[in-house]
A and B are shown apart, each in its own frame.
Chain A
Amino acid sequence: AQSVTQLGSHVSVSEGALVLLRCNYSSSVPPYLFWYVQYPNQGLQLLLKYTTGATLVKGINGFEAEFKKSETSFHLTKPSAHMSDAAEYFCAVSDRGSQGNLIFGKGTKLSVKP
């Protein structure tokens, strides 16, 4: 069975500071990994994904994540936080490969202080 662990339910950074949201996964098969962002009372928006190939993945809004197989991690980073980045972030691993079933982490709420 696959699972996702997001360390830290709440992360607070200052505007302009580095954003680091941690995600570790377990999977018995090569994983597809995703980061989604959710703004209040809205659905999820895909930030970035890793399927195969390059392990450093760039997404929207300046975010990127690196797939590290040896560490079973897929941490999300952004060099400089913006106030508009404040939201809930979910890491997910795809279950059953191409069928697309997603297993989500519990989410990390990012707060950005002025």
Chain B
Amino acid sequence: GAVVSQHPSRVICKSGTSVKIECRSLDFQATTMFWYRQFPKQSLMLMATSNEGSKATYEQGVEKDKFLINHASLTLSTLTVTSAHPEDSSFYICSALPGGRETQYFGPGTRLLVL
């Protein structure tokens, strides 16, 4: 139980294009989903918190217009990196929090490479 998937697992795109990453909770409903990015040999940094049906809460320093988050249902959240640039290349990991629980379940991550 408590499986979270991400799609795609790996994406390469040209600078200036937009990339959408999906995060799904497969066997539970997630009232809250989180998006993290992880640079090589570093820890996870929280980018934003999304609650189903409401606007995402972004951490300080994260551009909300660049990283668009949509949490349209209790099992799906999407992160769109708009007008991607090479410095956006990173490992993006989502997690989902079942309602009333304190444990986040993590997806396998999406490696984004912007050329």
Q: CB within 8 Å of B: which residues of A?
A: 32, 34, 36, 41-46, 49, 51, 90, 94, 97-107
B87 CB-CB contact with A under 8 Å: no
Q: Which of A43, A105, A106, A107 contacts B93 (CB 8 A)?
A: A43
Quick check: B106 and A45 within 8 Å, CB to CB? yes
Q: How far is the CB of B26 from chain A (nearest CB, A)?
A: 13
Once A42-B109, A107-B43 are accepted as A-B contacts, the answer to whether A101 and B103 lie under 8 Å apart by CB is: no
Interface string of B96-109 (1 = CB under 8 A from A): 01001111111111
> Which residues of chain A are within 8 angstroms of B49 by Cβ–Cβ distance?
99, 101
With a 10 A CB-CB cut-off, give which of A34, A41, A43, A102 has the most chain B CB atoms: A43
Known: A98-B100, A100-B32, A107-B42. 5 other contacts (CB 8 A): A44-B44, A100-B102, A101-B46, A102-B46, A103-B46
Q: Which of A42, A44, A98, A103 contacts B102 (CB 8 A)?
A: A98
Quick check: A43 and B43 within 8 Å, CB to CB? no
> Which residues of chain A are within 8 angstroms of B100 by Cβ–Cβ distance?
98
> Which residues of chain A are within 8 angstroms of B106 by Cβ–Cβ distance?
36, 43-46
Could you count the A-B residue pairs with CB atoms below 8 Å apart for me: how many are there?
A: 59
Once A90-B43, A94-B102, A107-B43 are accepted as A-B contacts, the answer to whether A100 and B97 lie under 8 Å apart by CB is: yes
B34 CB-CB contact with A under 8 Å: yes
Q: What interface size band does chain B fall in?
A: 20 to 34
| Bound complex: CA A107 to CA B91 (Å) | 15
B111 CB-CB contact with A under 8 Å: yes
| Bound complex: CA A104 to CA B59 (Å) | 14
Q: How far is the CB of B23 from chain A (nearest CB, A)?
A: 10
| Bound complex: CA A57 to CA B14 (Å) | 47
Quick check: A100 and B107 within 8 Å, CB to CB? no
Quick check: A106 and B104 within 8 Å, CB to CB? no
Q: List 12 A-B contacts (CB under 8 A).
A: A34-B103, A36-B106, A43-B107, A44-B44, A45-B106, A46-B105, A49-B102, A99-B49, A100-B32, A102-B44, A102-B46, A104-B44
